[in-house]
Structure 1
Amino acid sequence: ELVVFRDERGRELLDLPDAPRPDAGTPAPARFLPAFDNAILGYDDRSRIIDDAHRGLSVAGERVLLLDGRVSATWTVDDDTVVVRPLRRFAKAERAETTAEGSALAAFLSDGESDRVRIDPA
């Protein structure tokens, strides 16, 4: 049997009864998503994750950065450096979180040769 929740618009959401669910105020961690990721493409209504102004990024195959569960930047790799192009201004804490997560991604993609991250101006 599933547990029923309602979103902000009153739509029905279903979950498993024993599934872990964070407190509603818990921010989602920064996540770098690859091009054509199912987290964005797998839903008809993407408004919970991406603003209408940036919706075309998902179908264009852009790699995106999620901050607190929302698409907030695109990213590429240039000379073993993760390059982040914000779609809006980042708060200081968001920059720090992006840098930390981006450093781990750069190290993974370069087999430990680099941990460089560059955040371009918004």
Structure 2
Amino acid sequence: MNKLMWGCVALVGLFAVAESLKCNTCTVGLSSLCFIGSTAECSTDQPNCFTAEAVFNATSIVNLKRKGCLATAFCNTTSTGSILTAGYTVTQTCCSTDQCNGAVAIQLPLTVALGSALVAIWSTFT
């Protein structure tokens, strides 16, 4: 009986690992560029791939993106907020197949990413 029980536990564990999604990740993204990206295997508490986009209300030119794994409760949601006086809207969209949240875009050094973001923001005020 013990061997049967451990065999079932091992089989369930194998299926749990085999069913984990592989998602593209992007920690820092601006428009279609990903500055810090890779792939990740999702955990059971975050079983969905997602893409999040933050769009600033004053201009739709500057939009920030993130990708990765997300809990189901946060999937397909929209929220709003503000930084200083700039309002923004964040939309999180989920999917449930391997790397369904798009390809990892070209990765650039963080200094280039920050410089590009500052130029884009600065150009909206001039």
TM-score normalized with structure 2 length: 0.23
The structure showing larger relative contact order (alpha-carbon pairs under 8 Å, at least 6 residues apart) is 2
Choose between structure 1 and 2: higher helix proportion.
2
Choose between structure 1 and 2: higher strand proportion.
2
TM-score normalized with structure 1 length: 0.24
